[in-house]
Structure formats: C-alpha cells, structure tokens
C-alpha cells in the first residue's frame, strides 16, 4: 500500500508537524510505503497534480487549514479525476466543526478526521477497505454507502506523553529556519475565538522528555525553536523548570514562547528578569485592552493583571515581547483599537500585531455568531466582515492600520521615530494612514528605503519638529547620505570638535565622519562615524556636541 502525503504550506519557511507526528507512530509497519510531495500555495496547481499523479498513490493524505484549504481542494479534485481509485483522507483544524456539508460538497474526499490523529489514523489504515468498521474510529467523519453522514465525535490522545516524538520520523524537516516543539496539548483558557479554547484536558510532557527532544534538535544545529505550549506560565513551577532547561541550550538556541501576561507570578517575573539576552522571544496574548471585550470573548484573567504583566514584559531589556490585538471581536470599536495601539506603544511592545478575527470551525464564537451579531465569510479564511460595533469600512481601515504597523512600527529601522510620533501626536496614526492611502501605497510592497523616504517627507510637511529625528533614523538605518532625508548632512572633510558626548561606539581616527547640524549658528549637532575599510552602511559611532 502506497501512502502519499501532500505537504502543502503557505511558504517554504513553514513546515507541518502532522506528517512526522503520524508517521513516527507506525514507521515500523513495512506494509505501508510512505512518500511525500511538498509544495506551497503559490505554486502552479498543475505542477503539483502532475507530481502526485506520477507517484500513483493508493492513499493521498493531507492536513487542511484555513490558508491552504482552497488550493488543496483544487489539487485533490484534479488528482481524483486522474486517479479515481485513490482514497483521499484529510485532517486538520478545518474539520473541528460540522463536516457534513463539506463531505457532500466534495465527494472525492473519502473521510476526514476531527481532532488528534496519532492513535486513530493507524486504526483507520488497518480497516480502510472495510467501511463497516469505520464507526469504531473516534473522530472519523464520512458518508456511508447510502450517502448518510456519520460522525464519530472528536479524537483525543489522552496519553500524550506515550507518543513517539515526531523528531524520530524520517519525514521531520530539519531544513527550515525554525522547528516547532510541542510540549503541551490542550489549553486551560476558554477563549471563544480559539480552536484550543475547548481543548481539554491539558496534557504535558515531562521535563526529561522535552530535554531528550531538545538534544536531538540541538544536534541538528537548529537555532530557533517555537514552543507549542499555550499554558506555558499557567503553572509557575513548571514554567521555571522549562526556563532552566532552555538555559542549558543558550546561546545556541532561541526559544519562541506564548505567554499569558495576566498570569505572571512575582516568582516567575524574577526568573525572567535574570535570563540572558536573546534566549526568549515572547508572544503576549492580549487581544484587546477592554474588559467587556475580553469578558465577551471568554478570555480568562483580569485586564488589570494583564496590563500590569504586559507592561512588565515589555520593560525587560533582555528579551523582546510582541503583543497582539484582534479587530472584529464583539464589543470592540475601531476608535478603541487606535487607542489600544497607543497604549501598547507606550509600554514599548517590540511588535504590535493587529489581526482581523477569523471565525474558525469548531469555535464557540462561530457557533454563536448570529447571537453575537457577527457576519463573517463562509469561505476560508472565515474573516469577520462586520459586527454591531465595527462596520465593513472600519474593518478595512483596521486591516490597513495593520499594514502601517508592520511597515513602520514593526520594522526596527523606523520603530523609534514611529513610536515617538504615535505617543506624542494623538492624531498621527489617523493622518499617516490617510496619507498612505491617498498616495496609493498602503497595500503595496514598499522597500525599507522607500518607507524611510515616505516617513521623512511626511514629517517634513506635517510634523517638522520631528524632521531631525527622521533624518537620524535614516542615517542609523544605513540609508544613502545622498537622498532627501540626509539633505542637511555634511560629509566632506568633517573634523571632530574638541568636545563631544559619545552616545555609542568608540571613536577612531580612520572613521569616516558625517555631521548632522541641529543649530547652524552654534554648529551643534550629531556626529556619525562609519567604518571605511568594511562595507557596513550603518554607523558604528554616534556623538553629539
């Protein structure tokens, strides 16, 4: 029996754990010949179909999620037309809801799995040709020979720690810039918009088991690990044990963690304070800074605790914390989103990620959409189109605001000046967003240099008091000193003053100096030094007099 896995991702930087997780459990079964075809959603459908066709599989399996859903079905429908005897079976988060409509609409799909597949997929393989036994397999959804929908509930792996780790599978992909390490399944929280909101019970791996897996990851030279643990700081003792374990791999590995800012104990705060720089990258789930919004979304934890915790995390100099907001949540207004961005900027969030709410299959919020007054797309990615509090146009404004944040605040070169403008000028976000829309660039890819030019010219004409700081940001980003933001910079035969205050770096006589005057009459300003011998565009020295 030949089983072909179609690994369809959004880009080659991403890799699904599904195949190695399933394969690891039955890798010793010699009756199954495993194969894989990898592609991205941006590739030509015909090329992927051609590759699958020439493999001539008996079974074609894949994971479906909101961003590959449409492309995957285009591929599978064509494969079934070419290989009518091929059995197509799917799993993934797209099937956590009701699957009857999907199976009737896509009859070329033999069955879908709801939930966790490591235990039930081998069971199905053992009886795949005996459909009368399919009713014994938890989580399996299918149409019987009479076209009647059969639903076997949801599959859960209760003994999560007994599974063979995916890293032991020959299909584990070690070529990506990061790997995912699943240390916990389930979530203590009850967020109505999340597929993990009802995923109980919470199951964990022992610290020793995680250490063994990290040793394998370390041996493969992986530098970044994304820890899949939605409950990381729910238990302070376990969180501390994990941090101690991560320290064993510093500085070779950087760990990306999700953390709940409302549940930060004083004990854990002390641990975080003393970690070495670069060990952790934190994603702090905040979603909204409004108590009624969080209550309606059924997110646990007091808002006051969340804000205090987030402020603490953002203040840590030894790690970067990213915060997220979700437009389209019930009771959340557009004006509040703008205000919340200013608060997060004041905290010093390393990134502010603004996403639109998606009503995913199997979530409480999708089931209660009509009651909550939410209209959403019936097709992937199921984005919210309108709520009682935010209309169609305002949601588009939120989407465009997200683009602004990614292009300027979330870009290190322009973050400092953008943060200052957000905090000091109450209407900056509104005015700058309107400007980007008017010049037709809000939805266009813009180079780092172009963004700097736009920001400088906007400051020059609208906020001239920030023109100098925009020039400094331009210089420190290593941009050309011949372009407009450096129009006041003096570069020829610059001699250092008798006294200056060094802001960073160390002055050496072989540095190439440039001078940005603040006051032409007193000849005060900023000095920047550039290495002459190496091709490094950013200054290595900065001083002011």
CA dihedral 469, 471, 476, 482 (to 10 degrees): 180
d(CA 418, CA 92): 39
Distance CA(208)–CA(301), nearest Å, equals 30
First to last CA, the chain: 77
The per-residue pLDDT for 198 is 63
Q: Is the dihedral of CA 74, 75, 76, 82 positive or negative?
A: positive
pLDDT at res. 131: 95
In this structure, the strands spanning 501-504 and 541-544 are antiparallel
For the question of whether the overall pTM of this predicted structure is more than 0.75, the answer is yes
Q: If one looks up domain 2-151 in CATH, what number appears?
A: 3.40.50.280
Question: Which CATH superfamily hosts domain 177-388?
Answer: tm_1862 like domain (3.80.30.20)
* Confidence (pLDDT) at 38: 94
CA distance 121 to 98: 19
DSSP-derived secondary structure letter, 409: I
Q: What's the average pLDDT block by block, 10 residues per block, for the chain (545 residues)?
A: 94 82 95 95 96 98 95 98 98 96 97 97 96 97 97 95 95 92 88 79 93 96 93 90 97 95 94 96 93 92 92 95 96 98 97 96 94 96 97 98 98 98 98 98 96 98 97 97 95 91 94 91 91 85 95
Task: Point out which residues pair with 46 in neighbouring strands.
Answer: none
- Residue 401: exposure state from Cβ atoms within 10 A (0-12, 13-18, ≥19): buried
| Calpha distance 35→4 (Å, rounded) | 5
**pLDDT at residue 201, rounded to an integer:** 83
DSSP string, 59-125: EEEEE--TTTHHHHHHHHHHHHHH-TT-EEEEESGGGSS--HHHHHH-TT--EEE-B--TTHHHHHH
Domain pair 2-151 / 177-388, same fold: no
Residue ranges per structural domain of the chain: 2-151, 177-388, 411-487, 488-545
> For position 10, what pLDDT does the model report?
84
Strand pairing report for 179-182 and 224-228: parallel
How many CB atoms sit inside 10 A of residue 36's CB?
A: 15
State the pLDDT at residue 232. 86
pLDDT of res. 521:
78
């Amino acid at each position: 029996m030949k089983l072909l896995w179609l690994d369809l991702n959004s880009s080659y930087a991403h890799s699904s754990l599904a195949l190695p997780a399933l394969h690891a459990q039955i890798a010793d079964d010699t009756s199954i010949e495993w194969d894989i075809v990898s592609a991205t959603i941006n590739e030509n459908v015909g090329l992927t179909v051609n590759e699958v066709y020439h493999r001539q599989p008996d079974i074609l399996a894949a994971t479906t999620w909101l961003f590959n859903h449409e492309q995957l079905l285009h591929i599978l429908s064509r494969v079934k037309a070419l290989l009518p005897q091929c059995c197509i079976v799917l799993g993934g988060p797209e099937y956590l809801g009701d699957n009857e409509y999907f199976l009737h609409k896509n009859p070329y799909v033999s069955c879908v799995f709801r939930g966790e597949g490591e235990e039930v997929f081998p069971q199905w393989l053992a009886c795949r040709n005996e459909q009368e036994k399919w009713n014994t397999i938890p989580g399996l959804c299918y149409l019987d020979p009479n076209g009647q929908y059969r639903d076997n509930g949801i599959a859960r792996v209760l003994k999560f720690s007994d599974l063979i780790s995916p890293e032991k599978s020959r299909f584990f992909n070690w070529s990506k810039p990061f790997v995912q390490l699943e240390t916990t399944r389930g979530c203590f929280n009850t967020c109505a918009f999340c597929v993990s909101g009802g995923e109980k019970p919470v199951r964990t791996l022992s610290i020793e088991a995680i250490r063994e897996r990290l040793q394998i990851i370390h041996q493969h030279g992986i530098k970044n690990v994304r820890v899949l643990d939605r409950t990381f700081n729910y238990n302070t003792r376990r969180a501390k044990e994990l941090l101690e374990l991560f320290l064993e791999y510093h500085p070779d590995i950087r760990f990306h963690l999700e953390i709940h800012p409302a549940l930060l104990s004083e004990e854990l705060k002390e641990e975080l304070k003393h970690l070495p720089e670069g060990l952790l990258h934190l994603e702090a789930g905040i979603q909204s800074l409004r108590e009624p919004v969080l209550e309606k979304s059924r997110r646990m934890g007091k808002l006051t605790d969340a804000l205090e915790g987030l402020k603490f995390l953002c203040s840590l100099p030894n790690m970067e914390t990213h915060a997220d907001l979700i437009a389209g949540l019930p009771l959340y207004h557009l004006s509040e989103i703008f205000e919340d961005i200013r608060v997060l900027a004041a905290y010093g969030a390393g990134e502010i990620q603004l996403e639109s709410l998606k009503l995913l299959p199997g979530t409480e919020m999708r089931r209660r959409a009509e009651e909550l007054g939410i209209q959403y797309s019936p097709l992937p990615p199921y984005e919210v189109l309108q709520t009682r509090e935010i209309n169609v146009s305002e949601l588009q404004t939120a989407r465009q605001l997200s683009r602004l944040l990614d292009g300027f605040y979330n870009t290190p070169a322009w973050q400092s000046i953008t943060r200052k403008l957000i905090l000091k000028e109450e209407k900056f976000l509104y005015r700058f967003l309107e400007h980007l829309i008017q010049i037709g660039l809000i939805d266009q890819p813009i180079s780092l240099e172009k963004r700097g030019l736009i920001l400088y010219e906007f400051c020059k004409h609208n906020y001239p008091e920030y023109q100098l700081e925009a020039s400094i940001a331009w210089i420190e980003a290593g941009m050309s000193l011949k372009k407009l933001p450096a129009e006041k910079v003096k570069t020829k035969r610059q001699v250092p003053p008798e006294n200056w205050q060094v802001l960073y770096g160390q002055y050496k006589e072989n540095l190439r100096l440039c001078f940005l005057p603040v006051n032409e009459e007193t000849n005060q300003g900023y000095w920047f030094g550039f290495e002459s011998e190496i091709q490094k565009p950013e200054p290595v020295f900065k001083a002011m007099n």
